[in-house]
Each structure stands twice: as C-alpha cells, then as structure tokens.
Amino acid sequence: MVGYLFAGQGSQYVGMGKDLYESFPEAARIFDRAEELLHIELKKICFNGPEEALKSTNISQPAIVTASIAAFEVFKSKTNFVPSFSAGLSLGEYSALIASGAITFDDGIRLISKRGQLMDEASKKHPGKMAAVLELSVEKLKEICRQSGAEIANLNCPGQIVITGKAEAVNQAMELCNQAGAKRVIPLEVSGGFHSSLMSEAALELKLVLDNLPISEPKFPVISNYTAQPQYKAEQIRENLVSQIKGSVRWEDSMRFILSKGVANFYEFGPGKVLKGLMRRIDSSAQVVNIEKSTDMEQVVNTRP
C-alpha cells in the first residue's frame, strides 16, 4: 500500500523544478501551462529567482503547486501505482486534489493563484505572524493561546506545533512558551497569520470562488487537513477548503489515520523534504521517498516498494 504526500508553503527554493523541466516533457507541459494561465514569469522566478519574489505568497503558492504536479505527472508516466490515500500540507491539499482528479490542473492553478491573492490581501489588512513551538505539550500550548489570544495553526508532529494570529498575540504567546520550557520558539518567515481568524474574510471570498468551481469525485481518497479524514464528495471538499484557510491543519492526525490503514510507504511530491522529516517524528518505521528531481525518478524505477 502506498500513500502520496504533497509539499506545503515554505518548501520553495530558487531552482525548484528546473531539472524536471529540462529532463521531462510532462514536467515542461505543466510549467508552460501554469505560466500561460497565470500570465506571470513563473519559470523564471522558480528557476532563477529572485528569492524575495518566490517567497511572496501570491507567487509561492502557484509555484509550489506547479512544481509538485510537474513531479507527479512525471512519476505517473513511469509507474502504475494507485495510492490508498493522499494528503498535502495546507497548500499541498490542493496539489493532492489536482493529482486525484477532483480538480483539473487549469482550475486548480487559477484557484491557488486566487487563494494566494486573498491571503496576501488579508495579511495586509490584518497583520499577523506565525511561530513554530518545539517540545511543548498541546495542552500547555492551548492554555497559552487562551491567555495570549494566539491560535494554533498546525499540529505537525510530536514536539512541533505552529501558532498564529495577531502579531502582538503571537509575540506574547512566544514569551509564555519560553517561560513554560519550550525547547525552541522560532518565528516563521511568512507574510501573515495564516490558518487563523485573521483569514476569515479570505475564507468568505474563497467560498464564492469554490461555489462555482467544478469538483469531481477523487480517483483516490484525499485526507482533509481540517478534519483529518478522507473526503469524497464535492460539497465536502468545498467546505473543508474554506475551513482550512482559517482553521488548524491537523497533519499529525492525518498521517496517523493513513498509517492506521496499513500504509507504510509514501512518495512526497514537490520541493524539499519537510514531510519526510515530519513523518520521521510521527512514525520512524514509515518510508518516504522524495520525488523532486530526475535522479529521484531513476530511483523510483529501480526500487519500488
């Protein structure tokens, strides 16, 4: 049994996707189509930077999804796997839905571009920040959030939780976390307080877009970040995506659900190895293979689980 995982925001880096674009027509087709639809120099920014442009929310989101789906399309052309489950971290859930056939790539990349714009606008209107808290219990962190007004954004893995919200609330929560004995508290390089109530207006605008978006039944189950359960029906997917933008990402719960169904081998699509690292903390016996470069494709062909 195999599971598919898709990278989230923050995994981007200058040069991502270049090797695949130059090596495989399947990847080139995806990058060329994304650029055609979005009317931005996506390849130039992904392959050559500058880094500041790639880090911008309205660029990084479609860039990561494009790189992830490019890797997936190459992988699909060389294998005949049908995954038991799939999931993506926050933004990556959209990649998973595209890969599953629930949303077409054309619709999905336009949707992602709009999502990035809405989140960027919300961040400017309601400034916020995020921070990763290491080695502090969920119970203690919930208490600190109640005291400070911060919110929990991501329950990533044992010992790693991300907090979010208004800048002053997160700053206060960071101080309280340090006082409570957190191993480290790390401010994240993001442009706003994502996965918090600050995104409520963005969620309302996203709902209007999703209400008019064709969604099909996925060819394989995609786990919702918001519920940590499989989602099959169009209305269910729409509701979960709206809730996800302003609610907590239950990544650890999502992975434990998939693992509980007997899946022990995973492929991670897109830039970086963040999800592989999180899985190591969740269940070190699970195997995760990254699909990002042409050498990864060679490894897949030669060593299949």
Catalytic residue, candidates 11, 68, 90, 113: 90
Is 195 an annotated catalytic residue?
A: yes
Q: How many degrees, rounded to 5, is the angle at CA 170 between CA 277 and CA 118?
A: 80
Residue 120 near residue 194, CB atoms below 8 Å: no
Residues 6+ apart with CB under 8 A from 290: 267, 268, 273, 276, 296
Is 68 an annotated catalytic residue?
A: no
Catalytic residue, candidates 68, 113, 191, 195: 195
- What is the residue whose two structure tokens read 């990864």? 296
Determine the Cα–Cα distance for residues 231 and 30; give it in Å rounded to an integer.
Answer: 26
> Of 57, 50, 51, 65, which is closest to residue 8 (Cα–Cα)?
65
Q: List alpha helices for 39-157, DSSP H.
A: 42-48, 51-55, 57-78, 92-99, 105-125, 138-148
| Sign of the four-CA dihedral 158, 266, 258, 230 | positive
Structure tokens that stand for 292 in this block:
């990002």
Residue 98 near residue 70, CB atoms below 8 Å: no
Q: Which residues are known to be catalytic?
A: 90, 195
